[in-house]
Amino acid sequence: MAKLHFFYSTMNAGKSTALLQTNHNFIENNLKTLVFIPKVSEKSLPKVSSRIGIKIDAIAADSQFNFFKYLKQQDFTNIKSIFIDEAQFLKRKQIDQLSKIADKLKIPVLCYGLRTNFLGELFEGSSRLLSIADNLHEIKTICSMCTKKATMVIRLDSNGDAQTDGEEITLGGNELYKSVCRKHYRKITKLF
């Protein structure tokens, strides 16, 4: 039986690296895969890239993209796995489409993404994945301020202070986001 998997963590845990490695293992064994990434802005490149420098081309999926319909229009019989990077940016209906692919087309779907945003709230895609995924896999990393497990993400402004409001999605990397434990998140943001 094919399953819907959700690999989640904070920033800098190696989610994209894990996706790239697993996809590589399939390809090395002559197994066909499809790799998708949500298109969250016009600047978004259709690539999955890791901070360690590895990258591959991916199929861009905007908020209206229908995964199930796309696969039904392809010759999907040889596809052995589907990979989704940045799955937190998907819509609820898109996660439901991915579950339908696993259930009806019998293709495993592996989603990788953040669990929560900088306000400590679930992303729409992550919320749905946590609700319906067959398997949940936490990828662990450490707090940037201590050695505890990081479970939260803070977003920094131009002065290096934590933001406690604003748009949910602002693209950036280490210069903008830091992974922290709940204790440091609470201390820095004072959101709860």
Active site residues: 86
Reference 126, options 18, 118, 103, 117; nearest CA is 117
Give DSSP secondary structure letters for 118-166. Answer: TTS-B-HHHHHHHHH-SEEEEPP-B-SSSSSBP-EEEEB-TTSPBP-SS
Q: Given CA atoms 36, 37, 40, 41 in this order, what sign does their dihedral have?
A: negative
Matching residue, tokens 């990979």: 83
